Amino acid sequence: MSERILTGIKPTGQLTLGNYIGVLRNLAKMSERGECIFFIADLHALTLPIEPETLRQNSIDLASFYLAAGLDPNKVTLFLQSSVSEHAELNAILQNYLYFGELSRMTQFKDKSSKMNESAIGLGLFAYPVLMASDIVLYDTDIVPVGEDQIQHVEITRDLVNRFNNRYGKVLKMPKYEVRKVGARIMSLSDPTVKMSKSDPKGDIFLKDDMKTVRKKIMSAVTDTGSEVKYDPENKPGISNLLTIYAAMSDKSIEEAEKDFVGKRYGEFKTAVADVVIKELEPFQQRYQEIVNNKSYEKVLKDGANKAKAIAKETLKRVHDAVGLLNI
Ligand code: ATP
Ligand code: MG
């Protein structure tokens, strides 16, 4: 049987070049390799305050961006998390198998909650890994492609699977994460020590930026002292980030990318980075716009939800049986 590959993105904000390099641009290739389940993590988007209209708009955008990434809707399953109620149902069961201590140690929770007033931190933000584990095991997932920031959440899912299966027998499938070699963590262009993030936009390139803006943002990206274009994330975080973007967007290794700029100046280097980004982003954006205009995402999402539900129902039934819930 072919591998089942699952990935989700939250409709929390405008998609960034980080999301594109970390996930979106690899999806078409992935769909040739195995059975792909891609979803819009709209329930997860509620874990931080968001306006209803923004959430709606972001969800449509995200669906369109997924499709613009070159997915064949007949081959992949694309749907909204909230359309398949089994995610929430499984979450209600699995929340009893992850514990307070380990959830408190999650980097994402610490990062996001540290910026908030304690009285405004919702339970959903804390329990995020439980819902994510539910998303993953619901489809007997083999592979979860992620950026570096999400490794910890797949690892806690693996702990949960072990714990659950030790107690009840082999009920849940053990997932594995997969991280890209190049571009698993694209950093902000204005502060290359922080991750480019859509819900906390600082120096982000947005997938909806016009090409003039994209070029301008890259040309004015923070660089480092010295003049050599060299990969050295510790001492040259700005240049290393731009090299990573260049390498990822031109399907080169970091070493190959470095060779392209031996003896070149920062300005010349930045122009080349902007060129490779724009070359790919421009047609991608046009495809996105067409999909938004003709609303082709609607049928895809509906069909996707039905396909997903058929799988999810079976898993949930298995879990009910295992823990002693009557399937009546
Ligand atoms: P948020 O700020 O809401 O957390 P985000 O930009 O981190 O948004 P997510 O929805 O959390 O995006 O993640 C979607 C996918 O994109 C995940 O697989 C994640 O690992 C990947 N990803 C997110 N940011 C980056 C980045 N800067 N570089 C590479 N991959 C990334
Ligand atoms: Mg994130």
For residue 223, give the CATH number of its domain: 1.10.240.10
Find out whether 64 and 291 touch, Cβ atoms under 8 Å.
yes
Name the residue of 6, 7, 9 to mutate for ligand 1: max ligand atoms within 8 A of Cβ: 9
Residues 73 and 27 in one domain: yes
Residues 236 and 317 in one domain: no
pLDDT of residue 19 exceeding 90, the answer is: yes
* pLDDT at res. 200: 83
- The CA distances from residue 308 to 68, 83, 85, 290, in Å, are 21, 9, 10, 26
pLDDT digits (tens, 9 = 90+) for 219-254: 999 999 999 999 999 999 999 999 999 999 999 999
Distance CA 138, CA 136 (A): 6
In the chain, how many H helices and how many E strands?
Answer: 15, 5
* Tally of domains within the chain: 2
Residues 249 and 223 in one domain: yes
pLDDT digits (tens, 9 = 90+) for 21-56: 999 999 998 999 999 999 999 999 999 999 999 999
Residues 26 and 75 in one domain: yes
pLDDT digits (tens, 9 = 90+) for 139-179: 999 999 998 999 999 999 999 999 999 999 999 999 999 99
Single-letter amino acid code for the residue at 137: V
Residues 237 and 98 in one domain: no
- The CA distances from residue 136 to 68, 73, 125, 325, in Å, are 24, 20, 18, 21
- Residues within 6 Å of ligand 1 by CB: 9-10, 12, 16, 18-19, 21-23, 146-147, 149-150, 184-186, 195-200
> Measured in whole angstroms, how far is the alpha carbon of residue 168 from the centre of its chain?
31
Residues 12 and 154 in one domain: yes
- 220 three-class SS: coil
Distance CA 123, CA 142 (A): 28
Query: What is the domain-level CATH number for residue 34?
Result: 3.40.50.620
Ligand 1: centre distance to CA 85 (Å): 24
pLDDT digits (tens, 9 = 90+) for 97-130: 999 999 999 999 999 999 999 999 999 999 999 9
Residues 168 and 57 in one domain: yes
Name every residue whose Cβ is closer than 8 Å to that of residue 200 and which is 6 or more positions away in sequence: 115
pLDDT digits (tens, 9 = 90+) for 301-323: 999 999 999 999 999 999 999 99
Residues 75 and 150 in one domain: yes
**Residue recorded with tokens 């891609």:** 38
* pLDDT at res. 161: 98
Give the domain range for residue 229. 211-290
Max distance between CA atoms of the chain, in angstroms, equals 72
Find out whether 90 and 316 touch, Cβ atoms under 8 Å.
yes
Element (H, E) at 277: helix 266-294
Residue 205: inside a domain: no
- 38 three-class SS: strand
Ligand 1: centre distance to CA 19 (Å): 5
Residues 233 and 303 in one domain: no
Ligand 1: centre distance to CA 18 (Å): 7
Which one of the ligands is nearest to 12 CA? Answer: 1
Which one of the ligands is nearest to 45 CA? Answer: 1
Catalytic residue ranges: 112, 195, 198
pLDDT of residue 1 exceeding 70, the answer is: no
Q: Residue 113 phi/psi, 5° resolution?
A: -75, -25
- 19 three-class SS: helix
Please state the pTM of the whole predicted model. 0.93
* pLDDT at res. 181: 84
